[in-house]
Structure 1
């Protein structure tokens, strides 16, 4: 696989007083998605998913006829 090796900490383009966010945590997958609306943090911990720290509730599947 030729996927790029990504940094384990979120690196910002400009100077900031914010502490770097470690992206590698045991049992938690973190992704930072940069869109035109800003950065979005997506975290997956087991069966639960969080976006910017808020739990994402799964949609109940529609009953089959």
Structure 2
């Protein structure tokens, strides 16, 4: 394990390994919930901030607004 004296060197990644600091305004495909990986729409990532609102509620951790 590597020690970091400067926390700015640490990049935040989610459980899928994406670096969330650079994904806003990125094109994405929306997949169905059942796991058959059928694309049902396309969008743009609007926010990965857990405090961003969707329908007047905080998104929370590990959720993205598209």
**TM-score scaled by structure 2?**
0.25
Greater per-residue strand proportion: 1
Rg: which structure is higher?
Answer: 1
Bigger relative contact order (CA 8 A; separation at least 6): 2
